[in-house]
Amino acid sequence: MTEASLIDELPGELLMWVLIISELLVFGAGLIAFMGVRLTDPAGFAEAQSHLYRTGAALNTAVLVTSGYLAAQALRWRRIARRGAARLALIAAAALGVVFLIIKGAEYAGKAAQGITYETHPFFLFYYLLTGFHAAHVLAGVGILLLVAWRDDPRNIEAGAQFWHMVDLVWIMLFPVIYLLG
Amino acid sequence: MPATSSFPKYSRRRLPNALTRAWVTLLALSVASALLTVLPIPSTLLGGGILILALAKCRIILARYLDLAASPGWLRGFTMVMTGFALIIFALYLI
């Protein structure tokens, strides 16, 4: 099999896959750095982690995988010419993205009320950096989902959904490392 | 012309498709992760279990949501890299 044909096997646009791989590498490096710094103060990291709102984060996992499902269904429906259903699914996926951000915002507000900032402990520096950067991607993803719901060419929807699944994928690895591995 | 216009309607309405099965499995694995954290098990097992469940979820998203099930070589490659990442995280967790 030639290299060109292997690249052709990728669904959708090649540039979207370059973006997906780049983002996974960036977040992956951030998480490895987080675990590396944890070695300098495991007890402090465990104590800091106990202040996190795990239930909300777990709920957000369900919210994102459901939103991803709707985005994937939208592409499937658009391809079989169920245009209205596809648009509704994209709007619902975007709405769940907003739900994710509301839960995340409540979590940040809770930390602020406790006086916890990025300076409180190195754990929280990584926590705010990684979850904040991810939340920025969610915000961008919501806009992209709404954009492709409007300009609903199947190729647009595929690219938008792929971006959204990348956001989903990052959260699936970020959640256990930041919230659970104490 | 829609690609499935010749299919009987019931064939895609009554059977859950691979995507729906993937979504249900993802939710089930998320519940399993949450249950794992409340079980009285050693931290090594807990960490390993949580990472294995996360890897399983990643593979489902890659295969079904991102449609790499149709490109097995790429799915295998992504799975290997994600597994390597999880092993690094686990090793750092154990130190």
Q: What is the pLDDT along chain A (182 residues), one digit of tens a residue?
A: 555 688 888 998 999 999 999 999 999 999 999 999 999 999 999 999 999 999 999 999 999 999 999 999 999 999 998 999 999 999 999 999 999 999 999 999 999 999 999 999 999 999 999 999 999 999 999 999 999 999 999 999 999 999 999 999 999 999 999 999 87
Q: Minimal CA–CA distance to A39: which of B94, B73, B25, B22? A: B94
Q: How many domains does chain A have?
A: 1
Residues above pLDDT 90, as percent of chain B: 72
In the predicted model, is pLDDT for residue B76 greater than 50? yes
- The CA distance from A38 to the nearest CA of chain B, in Å, is 9
In this predicted structure, what is the pLDDT of residue A81?
A: 87
d(CA A77, CA A87): 9
Asked if the Cβ–Cβ distance from A69 to B88 is below 8 Å, we say no
**Residue keyed to tokens 């959904």:** A161
d(CA A142, CA A144): 5
Q: A81's torsion region: left (phi>0), alpha (psi -120 to 50) or beta?
A: left
Residues sharing a CB contact under 8 Å with residue A98, sequence separation 6 or more, in sequence order: A142
Asked if the Cβ–Cβ distance from A76 to B17 is below 8 Å, we say yes
Domain annotation covers residue A38: yes
- What is the per-residue burial (b if ≥16 Cβ within 10 Å, else e) of B61-77? bbbbbbbbbebeebbee
- Amino acid occupying residue A167: V
| Chain B stretch 18-57, residues whose beta carbon is closer than 8 A to a beta carbon of chain A | 19-20, 22-23, 26-27, 30, 33-34, 37, 47, 50-51, 53-54, 57
Domain annotation covers residue A94: yes
Partner residue facing A66 (CB), from B23, B64, B70: B23
Give contacts of B89 with chain A, Cβ < 8 Å: 31-32, 35, 177, 181
- Cβ-Cβ contacts under 8 Å between A and B: the total is 106
- A62, A118 in Cβ contact below 8 A? no
Domain annotation covers residue A15: no
Q: Minimal CA–CA distance to B59: which of B81, B35, B42? A: B81
Domain annotation covers residue A16: no
Domain annotation covers residue A53: yes
A36 CB near a chain B CB, below 8 Å? yes
Give the start-to-end residue ranges of the domains of chain B: 18-94
Taking CA A64 as the corner, what is the angle to CA A148 and CA A80, rounded to the nearest 5 degrees? 45
Q: Minimal CA–CA distance to A52: which of A165, A138, A130? A: A130
Which DSSP category does A21 fall into? H
Q: What is the mean pLDDT of residues B3-26?
A: 68
Q: Minimal CA–CA distance to A91: which of A158, A153, A146, A166? A: A146
- A167, A178 in Cβ contact below 8 A? no
Domain annotation covers residue A54: yes
Query: The domain containing residue A47 runs over which residues?
Result: 27-180
Complex ipTM: 0.92
- Amino acid occupying residue B72: P
Give contacts of A66 with chain B, Cβ < 8 Å: 23, 27
Domain annotation covers residue A95: yes
